[in-house]
Structure 1
Amino acid sequence: MSHSLAFAMTLAASNDLIYGSLRLTYPDKKFIDYLATSGCTQWQQPGDEWARGKGPIPAGFEYKIPTVPYWLPTRGIEGYFFHITPDPVSSSGDIRSELGIHFDANAPGSAGCIVLKNFSGWERFCDRMEAITKSGIKSIPLSVNYH
């Protein structure tokens, strides 16, 4: 088994932002969970995955993230960004693109990215990704699961 990431969250109609978890699993099956979300408030229910700029990241794709992020000054990201591929993804003519994993800067929630809520957790995630990079791994698979 190799390193893997899994984002899991419940999709439901809600006036509040719904949080789930981003789990980093190591080859020895030990794991670390980070408090994370995807999508904007009131745009996290089933079917919203294809709402561009509002809904959560679509499930059902074989995503990967690089272990080395790049810096984005974009408002709401304002820091390191782990770009999720494939980019774009589409289904029935709907397209989502430019998704990534980053710290939830500015307003809570995201335009479809997976965002970590706590800055201390984000810093630890970045440190762990750097350590994984130093072991020679260039990318990690990411699964997205809704329940």
Structure 2
Amino acid sequence: MTPHKLIFTMQLKPATELLDGNLQLIYPDGEPIDYLATSGCAGWQQPGDEWERGKGPIPQGFDYEIPTTPYWSDTRGIEGLFFHITPDPVVSPGGRTRSEFGIHFDANVPGSAGCIVLRNFSGWKRFCERMELLARSGVEQIPLKVVYS
């Protein structure tokens, strides 16, 4: 049986409005659960922006993982549960770094400084409940793939 996995997809393109993406939790039986999500700030979600610190979306091409157990963060824009994405930091072929990514609820100003944020609170609550159930069942980490089109 295939292990659980997460896939974040979004179409990167020039835009002034915040672009929506999709975070999909896939169970070992292949059942997918979709969540409305985004990464990056409005105006900073086009190809090449992944290495813009504090603005661009999370870079693709890394073997990311998230824990099923979050921690609490009082950081403005998070202000709640935070699933820390590793590896941390990640480095571009040109030597630029990005760090401190996570999955969290989209608090305050819409968008993120690079984290994957869930856009609606009911979806966020369901995501947290599913992660808690997975943690209780002994799943500690879930691989995360980031795919841009």
Q: What residue in structure 2 maps to residue 25 of structure 1?
A: 26
Distance 1:31 1:11 in 2: 23
Quote the RMSD (CA, aligned, Å).
Answer: 0.3
* SS of residue in 2 equivalent to 1:132: helix
Structure 1 runs of 4+ aligned residues shifted over 2 Å read: none
Distance 1:3 1:127 in 2: 15
For residues 1-147 of structure 1, the aligned pairs below 5 Å read 1-91=2-92, 92-147=94-149
* SS of residue in 2 equivalent to 1:40: coil
- Unpaired runs of 5+ residues, structure 2, are none
- Give the % identical residues: 67
* SS of residue in 1 equivalent to 2:87: coil
Distance 1:94 1:39 in 2: 17
Residue 120 of structure 1 deviates from its aligned partner by: 0.5
Aligned letter for 1:103?
F
Distance 1:75 1:60 in 2: 28
Distance 1:131 1:12 in 2: 36
- Unpaired runs of 5+ residues, structure 1, are none
Distance 2:96 2:50 in 1: 10
Residue 93 of structure 1 deviates from its aligned partner by: 1.2
